[in-house]
Amino acid sequence: MVPRKSFVSKEREGFFFLSAQDRIGGSRMARYNFRAVEKKWQEIWENEQIFRTSSDFSKPKYYALVEFPYPSGEGLHVGHPRPYTALDVLARKRRMEGFNVLFPMGWDAFGLPTENFAIQTKIHPAVITERNINRFRQQLQSLGFSFDWSREVNTTDPNYFKWTQWIFLKLFEKGLAYKKEMPINWCPRCKIGLANEEVVDGACERCGHEVETRVKNQWMLRITAYAERLINDLEMVDYIERVKVQQRNWIGRSEGAEVLFKIKDTEENLTVFTTRPDTLFGATYMVISPEHPVLQKLRDRITNMPEIEAYQEQARKKSEFERAQLVREKTGVRVEGLSAINPATNAEIPIWASDYVLMTYGTGAIMAVPGHDERDWEFAKKFGLPIVEVVAGGDVEKEAYTDTEKGTMVNSGFLNGLDVPTAKKKITAWLQERGLGVPKVNYKLRDWVFSRQRYWGEPIPLVYCEKCGWVPVPESELPVRLPQVANYEPTDTGESPLAKIRHWVETTCPKCGGYAERETDTMPQWAGSSWYFLRYCDPHNDQELASREALEYWLPVDWYNGGMEHTTLHLLYSRFWHKFLYDLGIVPTPEPYAKRTSHGMILGENNEKMSKSRGNVVNPDEVVEEYGADTLRLYEMFIGDFEKAVPWSTEGVKGCKRFLDRVWKMMDMVIPGAEYRPELEAKVHQTIKKVSQDYENLKFNTAIAALMTLVNEVYRLESINEAEMKTVLLLLNPVAPHITEEIWEKLGFEGMLNEQRWPVWDEAKTVEQTVEIGVQVNGKLRATITVNLDDPQEAAREKALSAEAVKRALDGKTIVKEVYVPGRIYNIVVK
RNA sequence: GCCGGGGUGGCGGAAUGGCAGACGCUACGGACUUAAAAUCCGUUGGGCUUUUGAGCUCGUGAGGGUUCGAGUCCCUCUCCCGGCACCA
């Protein structure tokens, strides 16, 4: 086997230092030396830039995307390669199918762990980041992924975050970024404000400390303005159902009406949001949130203000966690001196304040219909408030009747006798005519808290001027870089460490030239990842975030795979930014990702989540060292259902190594032949079909199983011809790219394997002519017979009836019916 | 509570309504070896019978239904995983 000419020198240069044992043997018989083989091909791929994305925009394109990692100090763990290998398989297959493939990788490198490490060690976060990235890159490269490394992006690179800042300024310009005094989730340990999404069970997602409520002046992004489109446009994308469901859930659209209640003897109104306007006649009291502004506005009329203030204080002290976790014992206080008028009944009804009504949803006030809402019912029972039945069908003295399908309206004037949906329409129209209400859609989704009081993030590119207010830094001055500092500690007041760097903070107003101060908050980690897939399209552009031409060609991302944990955060945020950029005419598609799938976690061998503290972490470096990258890749794909969590198994890894060794040894079985042999033809076509389809459907485990079956068959035959061998190598190549290239070369096949075309199957040839089918008597299997597919039923029948076990089962019975499904089953029904 | 997704051997997992358990792991037996490892070949869901050819029977969370035939479809229930959760 003479290596192709161009590789000769490389081998000599790259491998002369390897021990004789490590060197690739000259004979076919040599043991498979994965270390040498993998190193060899990784160098060839890199030196010849095999996986460099072409800039030939006339070719059909395919954009495969995996979530870029946060380069932590711990390095890669075996969970990372699972999605990367999966999409690497797809990317490699697409190239062989003739596509120009964009399969990039980068670093989501701003973030807390690095900053915390910097505080500890006094090493600059940028230095730590670079070190971590180098390690990650080296690890990823050792796995042989076909990333186009020339397009690597790094969110902490000023040439990158220049455009993150630029997008922020556009949001600011369009009124979608605004500063607001608002209660935020505050983590006392991290000393940082958290987005709702970063609070898990009332605790900080990062450190686990219980979260408190604090009022802070925060930059907000108006994602709620896109709520409707973020829900509706899910219909135009191909996301796995659980992702769509979670997004819909999170956005939480609900349709109803806003209704105006007059506060008696004042000019004030209370507006409520309700999804059940039909029950208006049953609204016997109102509840407002303890933070509701009307309590301040009308404080002079309220006769029990001290009591209310005490309650407000109590509510404030409760963290979100307590408010959610405490047993649902309702608390509240009556607002004495105020009462409201039910616009339907004109009855005077009391107003209560209770923390079960949230200021952050709807209007912060509700109409309470205890007969038909569980929470209101509970509250009414506790405080002795009247319960009126307005939808017949249950027993409102026993529990709230919330069925909206079966009930009939009662005690509701002109609504009586109607069903609930009709009543909703009628009352809403009635309210609207009188100016007392409007149809309204509400969302649970909140605006995005975009400020972090931290150092290691993108500076928000705004300055504050006493005269001009908030003024954007001119585009020509972007990026606003982080100042060099010695100390990254957050302040106890919750201000960013940047606030102490006076020479950085103090600046001049771009508008009036007067004194101004920079915003010292930085952006959250979600900022850089909200648009990184755009940058990959044109990563070195210093004129715009990416050229229109590149975006037109590459977008949308054809296939994006990532973790379920990013469904409500990153995925939603990046869809929001993308839609915003679409509205500006910068990106050509309304949605960024045409298809989204998700992988399951890899657990430790003990079936628990892999973590340092549990001591069950498997390091991919060690697996590569001991078994090789191809084995690791193969195992990660074979380990189980791609979409489900699965425990690691060292024995399983060995099994995959064994398979690759068997493939290697097939080299000794190769015989000449340009066509599949008759005895293997159907099997080969079946395997091509199975593997091709399974790769597309993330069924890597069964694709590999099919290849194993074929290899087992080859071992049984003790030979494989060249045509068959080529097909096996082609099909296996995306999963195990190094060994297959090496075998291809050693067998002297034309060119490099990765340049070949993906094999095609002939549907007609996937069908075996002679098949073994089961013979059932009354649905019970009694025998198997071998029949020719073309045989008439009569021939099959004869074979079926002559089988001993069948004869026995038929003995003394009468045949009433026979079902023959060619290639499947022969079932005889007897009495 | 609401919304998803699940429950199949010792384990990971396969099965367009058509031979349940593909493929892999584990375990056991055999070959090779001075021996071991590696490798190769075979067996491996449970129970029962066996004249050693094999045969019978139960079996996909539970119960019912549809069907010639159900892991797969329908109904009821149950348990597990994930998400949301006082969202009006």
CATH of the domain at A797: 3.10.20.590
| Domain limit, last residue, from A443, A467, A492 | A443
Using an 8 Å Cβ cutoff, are A747 and A722 in contact? yes
Residue A215 resides in a domain: no
Residue A133 resides in a domain: no
Q: Which CATH number covers residue A267?
A: 3.90.740.10
pLDDT digits (tens, 9 = 90+) for A298-310: 989 999 999 999 9
- CA-CA distances (angstroms) from residue A593 to A54, A87, A355? 21, 14, 40
pLDDT of residue A2: 33
A302 shares its domain with A366: yes
A775 shares its domain with A754: no
Residue–nucleotide distance: A713 CA to B21 C1' (Å): 20
A364 shares its domain with A428: yes
Beta strands of A702-800 (E only): which ranges? Answer: 720-721, 770-777, 780-788
| Domain limit, last residue, from A414, A443, A472 | A443
Measure CA A47 to chain center: 34
A755 shares its domain with A775: no
Residue A374, nucleotide of least CA–C1' distance: B86
pLDDT of residue A625: 92
Choose among A36, A33, A97: nearest CA to A62. Answer: A97
A750 shares its domain with A660: yes
Using an 8 Å Cβ cutoff, are A86 and A700 in contact? yes
A673 shares its domain with A777: no
Using an 8 Å Cβ cutoff, are A114 and A74 in contact? no
Residue A716, nucleotide of least CA–C1' distance: B41
- Dmax over Cα atoms in chain A, in whole Å? 108
Residue A141, classified by CB atoms within 10 Å of its CB into exposed (0-12), middle (13-18) or buried (19+), is middle
Residue–nucleotide distance: A745 CA to B33 C1' (Å): 34
| Domain limit, last residue, from A394, A419, A443 | A443
pLDDT of residue A30: 67
A664 shares its domain with A705: yes
Residue A451 resides in a domain: no
pLDDT digits (tens, 9 = 90+) for A483-531: 988 777 777 777 788 888 899 999 999 999 999 999 999 999 899 999 9
Residue–nucleotide distance: A148 CA to B19 C1' (Å): 48
pLDDT of residue A793: 86
pLDDT of residue A195: 63
- CA-CA distances (angstroms) from residue A47 to A91, A414, A561? 20, 81, 28
A374 backbone dihedrals φ, ψ, rounded to 5°:
-60, -40
pLDDT average per 10 residues of sequence, chain A (831 residues)? 32 30 42 91 95 92 96 91 96 97 97 88 93 96 96 97 97 94 74 67 71 81 94 92 89 92 92 94 94 92 93 76 61 92 94 91 93 92 93 87 86 92 93 94 90 91 95 94 82 79 92 93 93 97 95 96 90 96 97 94 86 85 94 95 91 93 92 93 94 95 94 90 96 97 95 96 89 86 85 86 82 85 88 80
Residue–nucleotide distance: A382 CA to B64 C1' (Å): 43
DSSP string, A521-568: -B--TTTGGGSHHHHTTSTT-SSSSS-HHHHHHHPSBSEEEE-GGGTT
A752 shares its domain with A817: no
Residue A309 resides in a domain: yes
HSE (CB half, 13 Å, CA atoms) of A292? 30
Residue A713 carries which side chain, given as an amino acid letter?
E
Total count of domains within chain A: 3
A713 shares its domain with A785: no
Residue A257 resides in a domain: yes
**What is the span of the domain harbouring residue A335?**
253-443
Overall size of chain A counted in residues: 831
Residue A716 resides in a domain: yes
Q: Which CATH number covers residue A747?
A: 1.10.730.10
A779 shares its domain with A692: no
Crossing angle of the two packed helices A81-96 and A678-696, in degrees rounded to 10: 120
Residue–nucleotide distance: A242 CA to B3 C1' (Å): 10
pLDDT digits (tens, 9 = 90+) for A164-180: 999 999 999 999 999 98
A740 shares its domain with A629: yes
Within 7 Å of a protein beta carbon, the nucleotides of strand B are 3-5, 11-16, 18-20, 22-26, 38-42, 55-58, 68-70, 81-88
